[in-house]
């Protein structure tokens, strides 16, 4: 249930279960949007208030809509470094956190015989200085929220998508740059990955998962997927951003940052101040990649030969292991 055209209340009274000190939220940014919004902040604040207001519903008419995030937590100040060929050390750009427009999309879900709904939410952060919107929540719910956001006047949205070729380029770049992805961004290991081909038929799976490897792209499942027309859906691993460790998965659907030691004991506002500049940095890396000439944008022959050699070595090892397996079962049959 949502009231069209209603003004969002400047309080958190409708969400008494949440509190400033206990606000908990994962860091799964399932949708990232660029905008071309050119009006001033007050114009868009008013536009956000015109979105359908969340009102609690019931099983027959489930509540959905928007409510303010103001008051639940405060984002700590942070900065962005802008790098260029003329200034490789970068220019520091401090972000005015008061210019980050915050709002939450809510959708109710009923389970079993429960009379009270479970609230599923998406936190939406509009970083006006970069005209970037970060949506923190489940993919399907982010899409529902986005469909409402498209009603905002005087703005166009463009999805930021980390596609297969970009995900393939990351390990290629790391291989050539000794782990350095961008001036303040290093990657220690790409340990995880998912390849998929939804139209795959026969014996080849539609989806292959690489988990906790030393080098995901060089693993047999990844290479097997690639030679069977799979595309990378995601890669993940241990990143160092400004000399701080982050465990990150980058996928076609956005960026997921795991809660590890760096973030575990920080409140949500402090986490945002670490995570937001990282996401902006990854968007800048994507923009940098898109601007490269084709010979630099795609893996070269030497790198692909490394993959081929890794594949051949693993196949040979598999053949040897298969002989061991045959021997094992021969002995079992004869006992």
Task: Give helix 268-290 / helix 164-177 axis angle, nearest 10°.
Answer: 90
**According to the model, what pLDDT value does residue 20 have?**
39
pTM for the full model?
0.88
Region of 43 (left: φ > 0; alpha: ψ -120 to 50; beta: rest) is alpha
**According to the model, what pLDDT value does residue 227 have?**
92
Residue 267: strand, helix, or coil: coil
**Gap between the Cα atoms of 172 and 216, Å rounded:** 12
CB of 194 within 8 A of CB of 290? Answer: no
**How do the pLDDT tens digits run along the chain, 335 residues long?**
555 444 444 333 344 344 334 577 789 999 999 999 889 999 999 999 999 999 998 888 899 999 999 888 999 999 998 877 677 778 899 999 999 999 999 999 988 888 888 999 999 999 999 999 999 999 999 999 999 999 998 899 999 999 999 999 999 999 999 899 999 999 999 999 999 998 888 888 999 999 988 888 899 999 999 999 999 999 999 999 999 999 999 999 999 999 988 999 999 999 999 999 999 999 999 999 999 999 999 999 999 999 999 999 999 999 999 999 999 999 999 98
Q: What Å distances lie between residue 265 and 259, 262, 268, 275, CA to CA? A: 9, 8, 10, 14
What single-letter DSSP state applies at residue 131?
T
**According to the model, what pLDDT value does residue 85 have?**
65
CB of 54 within 8 A of CB of 65? Answer: yes
Paired with 135 in beta bridges are: 31, 124
Strands, DSSP E only, in 64-117? 64-68, 78-82, 91-95, 100-109
């Amino acid at each position: 249930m949502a009231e069209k055209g209603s003004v969002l209340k400047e309080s958190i009274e409708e969400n008494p279960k949440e509190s400033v000190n206990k606000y908990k939220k994962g860091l799964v940014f399932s949708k990232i949007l660029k905008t071309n919004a050119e009006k001033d902040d007050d114009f868009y604040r008013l536009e956000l208030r015109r979105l359908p207001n969340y009102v609690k519903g019931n099983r027959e008419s489930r509540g959905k809509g928007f409510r303010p995030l103001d008051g639940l937590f405060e984002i700590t100040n942070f900065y962005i470094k802008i790098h260029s060929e003329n200034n490789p050390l970068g220019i520091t750009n401090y972000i005015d956190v008061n210019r980050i427009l915050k709002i939450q999309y809510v959708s109710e879900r009923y389970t079993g015989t429960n009379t009270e709904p479970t609230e599923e939410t998406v936190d939406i952060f509009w970083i006006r200085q970069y005209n970037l919107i970060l949506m923190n929540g489940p993919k399907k719910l982010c899409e529902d929220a986005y469909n409402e956001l498209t009603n905002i006047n005087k703005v166009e949205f463009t999805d930021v998508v980390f596609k297969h070729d970009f995900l393939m380029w990351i390990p290629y770049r790391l291989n050539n740059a000794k782990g350095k992805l961008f001036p303040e961004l290093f990657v220690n290991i790409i340990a995880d990955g998912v390849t998929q081909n939804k139209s795959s038929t026969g014996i080849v799976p539609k989806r292959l998962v690489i988990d906790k490897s030393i080098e995901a792209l060089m693993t047999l499942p990844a290479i097997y997927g690639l030679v069977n027309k799979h595309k990378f859906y995601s890669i993940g691993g241990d990143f160092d951003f400004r000399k701080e460790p982050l465990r990150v998965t980058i996928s076609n659907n956005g960026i997921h940052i795991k809660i590890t030691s760096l973030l575990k004991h920080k409140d949500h506002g402090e986490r945002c101040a670490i995570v937001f500049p990282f996401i902006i940095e990854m968007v800048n890396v994507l923009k940098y990649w898109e601007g490269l000439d084709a010979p630099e944008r795609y893996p070269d022959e030497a790198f692909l030969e490394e993959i081929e050699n890794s594949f051949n070595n693993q196949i040979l090892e598999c053949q040897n292991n298969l002989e061991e397996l045959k021997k094992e079962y021969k002995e079992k049959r004869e006992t």
